[in-house]
Amino acid sequence: MDSSAATHVFVVLIASCLLAGCAGEREEGRVRPQQAGQPMDPLRTTGQLAAIRGSALVGDQQGVQDGLMSMHEDFRKAIKLADPMRRVDREVARAVLQGMDGLASAVWIDHENLFVLVDRNELRTQAVIDDICMRLEPLGDTLGVVVNLQSAAARTREEQATLSRNCQLQPGDRAFMQRTRPVDVVPAELREQQRRAQAWADARGDRSRQAQESLEILMDSTPELAEDPRRL
């Protein structure tokens, strides 16, 4: 490929990037987290191959390595494979989320499932999951994180349902080899206990106590948390 053809490919790539919104996914006027699971872009791959070939011709080994790593990263995201070398640090993640508006608590159920409790029903939304995921992005590969969102103020069965999503995928989808964990499986007696605790907390206007009661219910229904209190 001569220099004029390479320049043409570069210009086309930049134009495509601008049209696609490479700075971030935008939906309904808001910026969304990184997205995985999309097919590799043939135009982008062509540009990467051209850049690798150009680097090889001039003996630029670092350029060749960078190009190969870029292609590998695109392939990894296309097949929805989380990067095991860039796992999000759980304790740092909880610290980052502490200042989030409406957050009652954040607990890691296991190495990939993050349970988040918010203090208002209107915060149990996909937009809040987006916000959580974007706060975690600087810490590592969020393709390895599933956010499970519940409301401490829930009263009805619908409000008590957990909103779960992998940070970089569509609802219901999971990364390669990532299991789907049923977080909503809570016995009826625990739901009734939660309802009574909420009524009591509302009567006192004690939101912090309400959140604590909800966490106790979570521990009762998730033995791993009770066995390892460091996760709280």
- Strands 25-27 and 103-108 turn out to be unpaired
pLDDT score, position 146: 96
In this predicted structure, the answer to whether residue 179 has a pLDDT above a threshold of 70 is: yes
Percent of the chain with pLDDT over 90: 29
Give residue-wise pLDDT tens across range 129-163: 999 999 999 999 999 999 999 998 888 877 888 89
In this predicted structure, the answer to whether residue 15 has a pLDDT above a threshold of 60 is: no
How far apart are alpha carbons 22 and 159 in whole angstroms?
35
Give residue-wise pLDDT tens across range 63-74: 888 888 888 788
Q: Is 203 exposed, middle or buried (0-12, 13-18, 19+ CB in 10 A)?
A: exposed
Which residues fall within 8 angstroms of residue 88, CB to CB, at 6 or more apart? 136, 139, 140, 141, 142, 144, 145
Confidence of residue 21 (pLDDT cuts 50, 70, 90): very low
pLDDT score, position 216: 62
109-122 average pLDDT score: 92
In this predicted structure, the answer to whether residue 32 has a pLDDT above a threshold of 80 is: no
